[in-house]
Amino acid sequence: MGNSRSQAGQNFCSQFLPEEQAEIDRLFDALSSETHGSDTSPRSFSLKALKNHVGEALPPEMVTRLHDGMRRVDLTGKAKGPSDNVSQEQFTVSMSRLLKGNSEEKSLVILKMISATEGPVKAREVQKFTEDLVGSMVHVLSYRQMLRGWTQKRGPGPPARVQALAGQLFSEMDTQGGEKLPGPQQLDRECDRAMIEAWVFRAPLVATFLSVVIHRGFLLLRSPLDLAALVPERHVDQERVFESILDVPSVIYINAHLRRELRQRWRLLFSSELHGHSFAQLCGRITHRGPCVLLLEDHDGQVFGGFASCSWEVKPQFQGDDTCFLFSILPRMAVYTSTGYNDHYMYLNHGQQTIPNGLGMGGQHGYFGLWVDVDFGKGHSKAKPRCTTYNSPQLSAQENFSFEKMEVWAVGDAAGSQQAKSNKSILDVDPEAQALLEISGRSRHSEGLRDIPEAE
288 in the same domain as 197: no
Same domain, 275 and 180: no
Confidence of residue 434 (pLDDT cuts 50, 70, 90): low
In a domain, 248, yes or no: no
- Of the pLDDT bands very low, low, confident and very high (cuts 50, 70, 90), residue 174 is confident
Residue 157 shares a structural domain with residue 26: yes
In the three-class reduction of DSSP (H, G, I as helix; E, B as strand; rest coil), residue 359 is classed as: strand
186/38 same-domain check: yes
Domain's final residue, options 218, 251, 276: 218
Residue 453 is assigned to a structural domain of this protein: no
Q: Are 238 and 213 in contact (CB under 8 A)?
A: no
- In this structure, which amino acid lies at residue 270? F
What is the pLDDT at residue 221?
A: 72
Cα–Cα distance between 317 and 305 in angstroms, integer? Answer: 21
**Axis crossing angle, helix 60-71 with helix 88-100, rounded to the nearest 10:** 110
Question: Residue 152 — pLDDT band, cuts 50, 70, 90?
Answer: confident
The boundaries of the domain holding residue 265 are: 261-439
Q: How far apart are the first and last CA of the chain?
A: 53
User: Average pLDDT in the 364-373 region?
Assistant: 95
Q: How far apart are CA 89 and CA 112, in angstroms?
A: 16
In percent, how much of the chain has pLDDT > 90? 67
Residues 361 and 290 in one domain: yes
211 and 268 co-located in one domain = no
Report yes or no on 455 lying in a domain: no
Residues 32 and 157 in one domain: yes
Question: 278 and 196 in one domain?
Answer: no
> Does residue 446 register a pLDDT over 50?
no
Same domain, residue pair 274 and 155: no
Domain of 49: which CATH number?
1.10.238.10
3-state secondary structure of 222: coil
Please report which confidence band the pLDDT of residue 423 belongs to, taking 50, 70 and 90 as the band edges: very low
Tens-digit pLDDT profile for residues 246-297: 999 999 999 999 999 999 999 999 999 999 999 999 999 999 999 999 999 9
d(CA 342, CA 325): 13
In a domain, 281, yes or no: yes
Cβ 114 vs Cβ 32: under 8 Å: no
Could you give the number of structural domains in the chain?
2
Domain presence at residue 4: no
Least trusted range by pLDDT, from 69-83, 228-242, 355-369: 69-83
Q: Is residue 247 part of a domain?
A: no
- In one-letter notation, the amino acid at residue 38 is S
Query: What local confidence, expressed as pLDDT, does residue 6 receive?
Result: 39
The verdict on residue 374 lying in a domain is: yes
Q: How far apart are CA 315 and CA 352, in angstroms?
A: 10
Query: Is residue 290 included in any domain, yes or no?
Result: yes
Same domain as 422, residue 341: yes
pTM: 0.84
Same domain, 267 and 214: no
CB neighbourhood size of 6 (10 A): 13
Boundary of a domain, candidates 183, 218, 253: 218
Q: Contact 280/435 with Cβ under 8 angstroms?
A: yes
Domain-ending residue, one of 157, 189, 218 = 218
Considering the domain architecture, whether residues 75 and 201 belong to the same structural domain is answered as: yes
pLDDT at 8: 38
